[in-house]
């Protein structure tokens, strides 16, 4: 690292980004593109008992309104199951998408989205972290982060023999990534093959998941993401909007663009969860660290556990 620290280096994409030459997902233009706008739930848990799209469908420029009633079912074969929108009337998180209005322009789609009316049967969501933490399940092992419980030696025994010990608890609040570039996708089909411009940090996983969910070979899915305008990890997993965009483009037989608003960046995507951590350190009087015991708990999706 010595040859890099304290020295200036040019980023591969730096010049393109600062000069405005770098195209981001929402900026790819495909002739004939229709624009989607998400309609979000106003409850955190429950069931949609009625959704009225009549006024929205009559609004100027509207092409179609998609809800759980008329959206094709996605397959769920991918190894890491992700939430897919508009598949049932069940509400499992706050500001869950319950409809997408597609219109000739973004402004027409947004105006019509405000006309969609939904009624719900409400249920009490689980939001009390410390009231439920004792019921927490052990996190499963992950191919990304390894085993959820990692042990080296006998930490408890070493702690009991330590001459100096230190214990503390820490909490870290939930953090929303909210990078400068919002989540966005532009999709179109040609000769049964999908091309999608997506804000993604992992285009190959997006390709695999889209192919599986839409029932097409991976070779027939082309995911394009030449530049990412900030992500901080929030664009690693395949979110629900690429599935929706690709589905709508296939159903409407024309290109479709779907872009989050800034407000939806706080509610329509995942976030870094609240965490509660306990740490114990044991050391000799010489300062030699001989034991570390670290336990962490965080909230997660009950849908994807």
Q: How many domains is the chain built from?
A: 1
φ/ψ of 30, rounded to 5, equals -120, 125
The whole model's pTM is what? Answer: 0.89
Q: Helix H segments across the chain?
A: 14-18, 54-58, 106-113, 129-132, 155-160, 203-214, 240-252, 264-267
Nearest Cα residue to 216 out of 186, 237, 196: 196
Distance CA 214, CA 187 (A): 13
φ/ψ of 77, rounded to 5, equals -90, -10
Residue 290 counted as domain residue: no
User: Does the pLDDT at position 237 exceed 70?
Assistant: yes
Nearest Cα residue to 34 out of 198, 262, 249: 249
Residue 151 counted as domain residue: no
Query: Which structural domain, as residue segments, surrounds residue 224?
Result: 22-124+176-267
Residue 230 counted as domain residue: yes
* Band of residue 79 on the pLDDT scale cut at 50, 70, 90: low
User: Does the pLDDT at position 56 exceed 60?
Assistant: yes
Residue 140 counted as domain residue: no
User: Does the pLDDT at position 179 exceed 90?
Assistant: yes
Residue 85 counted as domain residue: yes
CATH number of the domain residue 59 falls in: 3.90.1170.50
Residue 295 counted as domain residue: no
Residue 145 counted as domain residue: no
Residue 274 counted as domain residue: no
Distance CA 53, CA 56 (A): 5
* Band of residue 234 on the pLDDT scale cut at 50, 70, 90: confident
* Band of residue 301 on the pLDDT scale cut at 50, 70, 90: confident
The pLDDT score that the predictor gives to residue 269 is 76
187, 256 contact by CB (below 8 A) = yes
User: Does the pLDDT at position 207 exceed 60?
Assistant: yes
């Amino acid at each position: 690292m010595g040859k890099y620290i304290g020295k200036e280096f040019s980023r591969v994409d730096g010049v393109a980004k600062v000069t405005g030459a770098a195209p981001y997902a929402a900026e790819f233009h495909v002739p004939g593109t229709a624009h989607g706008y998400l309609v979000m739930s106003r409850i955190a848990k429950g069931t949609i008992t009625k959704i009225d799209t009549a006024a929205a469908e009559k609004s100027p420029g509207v092409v179609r309104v998609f809800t759980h009633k008329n959206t094709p079912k996605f397959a769920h074969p991918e190894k890491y199951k992700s939430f897919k929108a508009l598949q049932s009337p069940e509400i499992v998180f706050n500001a869950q998408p319950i409809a997408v209005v597609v219109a000739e322009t973004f402004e027409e789609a947004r105006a019509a989205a405000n006309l969609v009316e939904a009624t719900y049967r409400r249920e009490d969501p689980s939001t009390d972290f410390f009231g439920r933490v004792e019921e927490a399940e052990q996190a499963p092992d992950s191919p990304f982060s390894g085993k959820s419980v990692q042990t080296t030696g006998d930490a408890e025994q070493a702690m009991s023999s330590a001459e100096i010990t230190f214990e503390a608890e820490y909490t870290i609040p939930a953090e929303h990534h909210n990078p400068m570039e919002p989540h966005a996708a532009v999709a179109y089909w040609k000769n049964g093959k999908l091309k999608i411009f997506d804000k993604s940090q992992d285009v190959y996983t997006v390709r695999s998941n889209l192919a599986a969910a839409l029932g097409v070979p991976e070779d027939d899915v082309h995911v394009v993401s030449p530049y990412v305008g900030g992500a901080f990890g929030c664009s690693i997993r395949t979110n629900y909007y690429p599935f929706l965009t690709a589905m709508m483009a296939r159903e409407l037989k024309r290109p479709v663009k779907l872009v989050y608003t800034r407000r939806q960046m706080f509610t329509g995507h995942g976030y870094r969860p609240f965490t509660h951590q306990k740490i114990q350190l044991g050391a000799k009087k010489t300062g030699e660290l001989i034991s570390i015991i670290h336990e962490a708990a965080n909230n997660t999706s009950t849908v994807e556990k």
